[in-house]
Structure 1
Amino acid sequence: MKKYLFFAIFFASCVFTLNAQTKSELQIGLAMPQGDFADDDEDDAIFDGSGVASTGFYLGYKILSPLKTDGLYWTFNAGIMYNDLQSDFKDDLEDEMDDADDYSLPKYLNVPILVGLQYEKSLSDGFKLFGEAGLGLNILKLTNRSASKNDYEFKETFKPSVKLGYKIGAGIVLQDKYTISLNYLGLGSHKVKYEHEEKYDGDSESYDDKFEKALSVSSLNITFGIRF
């Protein structure tokens, strides 16, 4: 809890350094899972360390506040990353639940909130290269898994998990307005807690549990941005 409080204070201190030269940037792009997050071992899927996550989308907002060194900026990044399950694994689950009246499968939502530094170097008029690194917190949330048939239904409700995360990346700036970047995000290892509920013929029971093995979340993102 102390480390989360530290980062909250650090985020606030960065915001207070904003000045008239501050730039804002909206970003959208592809989020390509890496490592365990992309691992397709169906036997260990989700609960035992394999994410089986497919390529998804990233939507973000960045603030750049210039420092005294020319081309150097404080950065504040906040975004949301959405990844569904890989299609083959998803098809297998749907086949297993084919006779269910209704069902839903989990999807991944990650919300990284990072602060860091970015350095930009002008190579020609209207063309810059930049490198960036950031550190902060990531919130992982899975949507519910559920199914129902006749008088039976079950639901697993996943609780948010907060871990330290980081980002390293590079890209180009065109006409001081448009950006293209490639970023690697390491978003923590999460042993997600969840509640399992079952109902049958009017009776119900529930229990709390957590992943057997922590899920390590990482992603390679290609983003396009516009500054204003």
Structure 2
Amino acid sequence: MKKYLFFAIFLASGVFTLNAQTKSELQIGLAMPQGDFADDDEDDAIFDGSGVASTGLYVGYKLLSPLKTDGLFWTLNAGIMYNDLQSDFKDDLEDEMDDADDFSLPKYLNVPILAGLQYEKSLSDGFKLFGEAGLGLNILKLTNLSASEEDYEYSMTFKPSVKLGYKIGAGIVLQDKYTISLNYLGLGSHKVKYESEVEYDGDRERDDDKFEKALSVSSLNITFGIRF
């Protein structure tokens, strides 16, 4: 709890630095899972530390507020990162669940909220390089898993997990309006809690559990942005 309070204070202090020269930036790009998040060990998939996540989509918003040092900005980033499961893993699961009338597999949603600093250096008219770093919180949420047959229904509901996260990255700014950036995001190790429910012949049973091993979420994101 103390580490989350520290971030809240840090974030609040940054908000108070906003001024009339604050810039806004909309971002969209690819989210490429790294490390355990991308690991394709089907035996350890999802619940035992292997994310089996595929390349997905990132949509974000960034605030940049200039500080006294020329080219230095305080930043606030908020985004949504969506990743599905890898197609080979999904195909294998679909084969195993061939008898099911209907089923849905989980997908990953990450919501990083990060505050930090960005430094920009002009190399020529209309062309700048920048580096950035940020620290904050990430919220991981998996969509539900479910399957049903004629007299049998099974569902698993995953609860949100909040952990500290960070980002480091670099990029270019064109004409003070367009950006291209490459960022590494480390979004925490999550032992997600979930509730499973089984209904068979009218009898219903619920159970609460959590991942056997924490899932470490990391991603290499390439994004394109527009400032206004």
SS of aligned partner of 1:47 = coil
Equivalent residue for 1:37? 37
Q: Secondary structure at the match of 1:14?
A: helix
CA distance in 1, matches of 2:54, 2:143: 15
Tell me how far apart the structure 1 counterparts of residues 82 and 57 of structure 2 sit (CA, whole Å): 5
**Which deviates more from structure 2 when the two are superposed, residues 92-101 or residues 103-112?**
92-101
Q: Deviations over 1:166-200 (max 9, x none)?
A: 00000000000000000000000000000010001
SS at match of 1:21: coil
Q: CA deviation at 1:15?
A: 1.3
Shift of 1:2: 2.5
Shift of residue 133 of structure 1?
A: 0.2
Structure 1, residues 89-108: CA drift from partner, whole Å, max 9, x if none?
00001111121111000000
Shift of 1:6: 2.4
Q: Deviations over 1:123-165 (max 9, x none)?
A: 0000000000000000000000010001100100000000000
Alignment partner of 1:53: what SS?
coil
Does the residue aligned with 2:7 lie in a helix, a strand or coil?
helix
Residues 49-105 of structure 1, C-alpha deviations (whole Å, 9 max, x = no match) = 000000000000000000000000000000000000000000001111121111000
CA distance in 1 between counterparts of 2:195 and 2:7 reads 29
Superposed CA RMSD = 0.6
1: CA distance, partners of 2:96 / 2:107: 18
1:62 alignment partner, SS class: strand
SS for the counterpart of 1:48 is: coil
SS of residue matched to 2:3 = helix
Deviation at 1:8, TM superposition (A): 2.0
Task: Report the secondary structure of 1:36's partner residue.
Answer: helix
Alignment of 1:74-113 (within 5 A): 74-113=74-113
Per the alignment, in what secondary structure is the counterpart of residue 89 of structure 1? helix
Distance 1:93 1:9 in 2: 45
In 2, distance between residues paired with 1:9 and 1:103?
43
Provide TM-score, normalisation by structure 2.
0.99
Q: d(CA) in 2 for partners of 1:179 and 1:200?
A: 54
Q: Residue deviations 1:112-132, cap 9 Å, x none?
A: 000000000000000000000
- In the alignment, the residues of structure 2 paired with residue 55 and residue 9 of structure 1 have an alpha-carbon distance, to the nearest angstrom, of 34
Work out the CA distance in 1 between the residues paired with 2:151 and 2:22. Answer: 58
Q: Secondary structure at the match of 2:199?
A: strand
Q: Which residue of 2 aligns with 1:142?
A: 142
> Tell me, which stretches of 5 or more residues in structure 1 are unaligned?
none
Identity across matched positions, percent = 91
- The separation in 1 between residues aligned to 2:194 and 2:213, in whole angstroms, is 13
TM-score of the superposed pair, with normalisation by structure 1: 0.99
| Residue 14 (structure 1) shift | 1.2
Q: CA deviation at 1:16?
A: 1.7
For 1:4 and 1:206, the matched residues in 2 are separated by 32
1:217 is paired with a residue whose SS is strand
Q: Secondary structure at the match of 1:172?
A: strand
Q: In 2, distance between residues paired with 1:80 and 1:127?
A: 28
Deviation at 1:13, TM superposition (A): 2.1
**Structure 1 residue 12, shift from structure 2 partner:** 2.1
Larger displacement relative to structure 2 (194-203 or 94-103): 94-103
In 2, the alpha carbon distance for the partners of 1:105 and 1:12 equals 38
- Quote the residue 2:3 is aligned against: 3
Structure 1 residue 190 corresponds to structure 2 residue 186: no
